[in-house]
């Protein structure tokens, strides 16, 4: 189970095609075919059905492991490199969309405290932030999510990263102002199991996360929004396509898009929207250089 083989396997499964995967990886179709054949021979079982190329049950299991495995491998390499490198000369920040709001608040402070260094900010999905910080692509990451009030965010257990809580926000349900529930003082998830939900996994808390947090598995999305634009989501809600759980500040900024929206606190189960700072293990001068950033953001 060479990591290269696993990487090819993941790519083929993603692409649904040997040749597309080969193109993406810079191999020939032949090489990809040999990689998969080697894996299948090693594990003694077919991993992919051909034509169409879809994972077998065994392949599904392997897929669940392969990604985290490669991530951990990158994390290990990045961790070693950090110990031999001095303090980073460029601060590369990453944040999930809703966490970027918190970051924007503190960014001025960060730049002032590190006038000499270059800065960059990337806004992308939660898992990409985690993966990037683990692999050393980003110096710092900021992610958001929902959790019980005392619990930390439960991020991919593939990697071991330091986390620092940055902000807790009240979790509210955003719904059209003329929605029957819009005038309620508060809401429980029980009130909402039959509601029309918009799942916006790249932006708001994924419905799956809400489901596990609530222990219920009755929440089903009526609509899925793949995107990271908050205003688009709010407009969708306003137009009655469904409702979503968001941090209070996201629904009540001084923004024109918010007119016609109600934000009702979600009080049961007790959940909060949490923002956390992620960073790899930093030692020596690097740690000192970043201590300022952390304290600025907290």
Contacting a second copy within 66-95 (CB under 8 A): 66, 68-69, 72-73, 75-77, 79-84
Q: How many residues of this chain interact with DNA, rule: CB under 7 A?
A: 20
Nearer to DNA, 48 or 131 (CB): 48
Assess 6 for contact with DNA (CB under 7 A).
no
CB of 62 to a second copy, least distance (A): 5
Inter-residue contact 91 to 118 (CB < 8 Å): yes
Tell which one of 39, 47, 53, 166 touches DNA (CB under 7 A).
Answer: 53
Q: Which residues pair with 174 in a beta bridge?
A: 244, 263
In 3D, which of 164, 160, 165 has the Cα closest to residue 280?
160
Q: Determine phi and psi for 198, rounding to 5 degrees.
A: -100, 120
Which residues pair with residue 122 across a beta bridge? 94
Structural contact between residues 149 and 269, judged by C-beta atoms closer than 8 angstroms = no
235 binds, among DNA, a second copy, none (CB under 5 to 8 A by kind): none
Minimum CB separation of residue 288 from a second copy in Å reads 16
Kindly give the residue spans of alpha helices, DSSP state H, lying in the chain. 3-15, 18-25, 29-43, 57-84, 97-113, 126-135, 189-192, 207-214, 230-238, 248-251, 285-297
- Under 8 Å between Cβ of 87 and 286: yes
* Contact criterion met (CB below 8 Å) for 189 and 172: no
Rule CB under 8 A: is residue 125 a binding residue for a second copy? no
Quick check: 30 binds DNA (CB under 7 A)? yes
Q: What is the C-alpha separation between 14 and 171, in angstroms, rounded?
A: 34
Q: Does 5 bind a second copy (CB under 8 A)?
A: no
> Is residue 73 a contact point for DNA (CB under 7 A)?
no
Whose Cβ is closer to a second copy: residue 134's or residue 233's? 134
Partner whose footprint covers residue 29, from DNA, a second copy, none (CB < 5 to 8 Å by kind): DNA
Interaction residues for a second copy, span 233-292 (CB under 8 A): 281, 283
Using CB under 7 A, pick the residue from 6, 13, 35, 114 that binds DNA: 35
Nearer to a second copy, 78 or 236 (CB): 78
Q: Using the rule CB under 8 A, give the single segment among 59-67, 194-202, 223-231, 265-273 that binds a second copy.
A: 59-67
* Nearest-angstrom CA–CA distance, 112 and 292: 10
47 counts as binding DNA under rule CB under 7 A: no
**No. of helices (H) and no. of strands (E), the chain:** 11, 12
Cα angle 114, 115, 118; round to 5: 85
Residues at the site binding a second copy, with contacts judged by CB under 8 A? 1-3, 43-45, 47, 57-58, 61-62, 64-66, 68-69, 72-73, 75-77, 79-84, 157, 160, 281, 283
């Amino acid at each position: 189970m060479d990591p290269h083989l696993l990487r090819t396997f993941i790519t083929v499964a993603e692409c649904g095609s040997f040749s597309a995967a080969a193109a993406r990886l810079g191999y020939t179709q032949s090489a990809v075919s040999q990689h998969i054949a080697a894996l299948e021979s090693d594990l003694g079982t077919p991993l992919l059905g051909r034509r169409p190329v879809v994972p077998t049950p065994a392949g599904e299991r392997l897929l669940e492991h392969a990604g985290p495995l490669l991530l951990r491998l990158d994390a290990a390499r990045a961790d070693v490199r950090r110990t031999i490198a001095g303090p980073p000369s460029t601060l590369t920040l990453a944040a999930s969309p809703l966490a970027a709001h918190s970051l924007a608040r503190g960014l001025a402070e960060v730049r002032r405290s590190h006038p000499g260094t270059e800065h960059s900010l990337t806004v992308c999905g939660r898992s990409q932030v985690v993966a990037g910080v683990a692999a050393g692509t980003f110096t710092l990451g900021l992610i958001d999510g929902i959790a019980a009030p005392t619990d930390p965010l439960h991020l991919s257990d593939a990697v071991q990263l330091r986390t620092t809580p940055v902000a807790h926000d009240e979790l509210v349900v955003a719904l059209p102002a003329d929605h029957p529930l819009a005038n309620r003082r508060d809401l429980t998830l029980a009130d909402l199991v039959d509601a029309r939900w918009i799942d916006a996994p790249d932006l708001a808390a994924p419905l799956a996360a809400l489901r596990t947090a609530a222990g219920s598995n009755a929440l089903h999305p009526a609509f899925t929004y793949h995107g990271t634009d908050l205003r688009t989501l709010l407009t969708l809600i306003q137009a009655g396509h469904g409702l979503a759980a968001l941090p209070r500040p996201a629904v009540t900024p001084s923004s024109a898009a918010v007119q016609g929206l109600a934000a009702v606190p979600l009080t049961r189960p007790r959940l909060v929207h949490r923002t956390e700072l992620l960073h790899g293990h930093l030692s020596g001068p690097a740690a000192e250089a970043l201590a300022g950033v952390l304290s600025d953001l907290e």
